[in-house]
Amino acid sequence: MRFSAAGMQLLKSSEGFRSRVYQDAAGFPTIGYGHRLLHPDSFPNGISEAQAANLLAVDVREAEQAVQRLVKVPLSQGQFDALVDFCFNLGAGRLAASSLLKSLNAGRYDQAEDELLRWDHAGGQEIAALKARREAESELWRNAPVEQQSVA
């Protein structure tokens, strides 16, 4: 399964494009469409939207692979998209250690969706943008086609 256009639209609208390095809500240096800078990444002159799109494609692929590796139950496209956006935003480690994943892999889809909505804080405070993003992910989750598809 691959990240859909609806998922990409949510991700891009949530992240926005920034050509210069900025600090994200958690204080990490970031550029483009939410690409977290790690050593030796450096963009002293900023980046173009085309460069940001290339970084985004790599980052999304990593998030897709994490969801495919961690989730052991069938997912709809909307559920997959919500989880890929979640992983892109928070990292695979957060998903791996979460009650969300534990509930999901136990087949408790509704409980997993409820857990998804709890991830709206940064620095110990509720962040309006994160709350809106989690609600949009939840909308993708719920409005997926009824049939379930395997992530493998």
| Rounded-to-integer distance, Cα 65 and Cα 41, Å | 22
Do residues 64 and 2 touch, judged by C-beta distance below 8 A? yes
Is 15 a residue of the active site?
Answer: yes
| Rounded-to-integer distance, Cα 147 and Cα 75, Å | 9
Do residues 70 and 38 touch, judged by C-beta distance below 8 A? no
Do residues 106 and 127 touch, judged by C-beta distance below 8 A? no
- Select which of 15, 64, 113, 137 is catalytic: 15
Catalytic residues: 15
